[in-house]
């Protein structure tokens, strides 16, 4: 049973979402403030955090950054429709996905399940690209021999791209393959995730070698 931590300050929304998520088969812990949320995340080791951006003490972005600094758990933001600035800032702070409030519980559940989906382990396939070694069986990525801590979404994105080096993937394609969203998904999810992944595996993220941008179309892995 997936263990979730819901950080939301409004008591009614918190209660409603807790009922809904429990009903969908999740085990739900809740927190009303950012600090409490960070404590509970540390103590409870949840699989994913559902995080409201508007919190009274620490705002959601700061909570997101602090969670990211110490963990690789999946983070889904709750945002208001059209608050594009919040969405971009939240994705930059490290969120894997976001949903717009008010959210249909089914939609939230589908997103949670998508970010938590177990990554299929390939039988004993170790790929080496330059300094990067991807162990598809152990789901371990190392750079120059040192393991790189990736979130499930980042790992999935890297596995998809590296599976077909030099093949160009459009953003909507990646949204389907990695986020399991249809074409309506927000392409900024892809861009933000690529940025984070570059920061972790590229020598120089501004002149990427592994994750290259194909302007106006999407991304591809290599040539290394």
Q: Which residues bind another protein (CB under 8 A)?
A: 10, 12-13, 15-17, 19-20, 23-24, 80-82, 84, 101-106, 168, 170-172, 182-184, 186-188, 212, 214-217
Nearer to another protein, 85 or 204 (CB): 85
Q: How far is the CB of 17 from another protein (least distance, A)?
A: 5
**Cα separation, 82 vs 89, whole angstroms:** 13
Nearer to another protein, 54 or 122 (CB): 54
Task: Provide the pairing of β-strand 97-101 with 74-80.
Answer: parallel
Nearer to another protein, 146 or 215 (CB): 215
Q: How far is the CB of 219 from another protein (least distance, A)?
A: 12
Nearer to another protein, 16 or 142 (CB): 16
Count of beta carbons in the 10 Å neighbourhood of residue 149:
12
Structure tokens at 158: 């890297």
Q: How far is the CB of 39 from another protein (least distance, A)?
A: 24
Q: How far is the CB of 174 from another protein (least distance, A)?
A: 11
Sign of CA dihedral 40, 52, 103, 152: negative
For the chain, report the end-to-end CA distance as a whole number of angstroms: 40
Sign of CA dihedral 127, 128, 131, 133: positive
Residues, the chain, total? 224
Nearer to another protein, 15 or 39 (CB): 15
**Cα separation, 224 vs 129, whole angstroms:** 7
13 to 32, 45, 84: CA distances (angstroms):
11, 23, 22
Q: How far is the CB of 2 from another protein (least distance, A)?
A: 17
């Amino acid at each position: 049973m997936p263990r979730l931590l819901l950080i939301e300050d409004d008591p009614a929304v918190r209660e409603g979402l807790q009922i809904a998520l429990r009903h969908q088969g999740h085990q739900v812990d809740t927190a009303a403030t950012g600090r409490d949320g960070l404590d509970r995340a540390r103590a409870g080791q949840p699989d994913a955090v559902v995080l409201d951006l508007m919190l009274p003490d620490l705002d959601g972005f700061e909570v997101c950054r602090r969670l990211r600094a110490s963990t690789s758990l999946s983070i889904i933001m709750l945002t208001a429709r059209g608050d594009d600035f919040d969405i971009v800032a939240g994705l930059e702070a490290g969120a894997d996905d976001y949903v717009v409030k008010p959210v249909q519980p089914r939609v939230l559940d589908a997103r949670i399940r998508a970010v938590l989906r177990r990554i299929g382990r390939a039988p004993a396939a170790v790929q080496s690209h330059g300094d990067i070694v991807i162990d598809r069986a152990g789901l371990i990525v190392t750079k120059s021999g040192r393991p790189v801590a990736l979130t499930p979404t980042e790992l999935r994105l890297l596995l998809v791209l590296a599976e077909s080096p030099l093949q160009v993937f459009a953003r909507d394609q990646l949204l389907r393959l990695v986020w399991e969203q249809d074409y309506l998904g927000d392409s900024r999810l892809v861009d933000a995730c690529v940025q984070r992944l570059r920061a972790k595996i590229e020598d120089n993220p501004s002149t990427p070698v592994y994750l290259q941008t194909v302007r106006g179309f999407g991304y591809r892995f290599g040539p290394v």
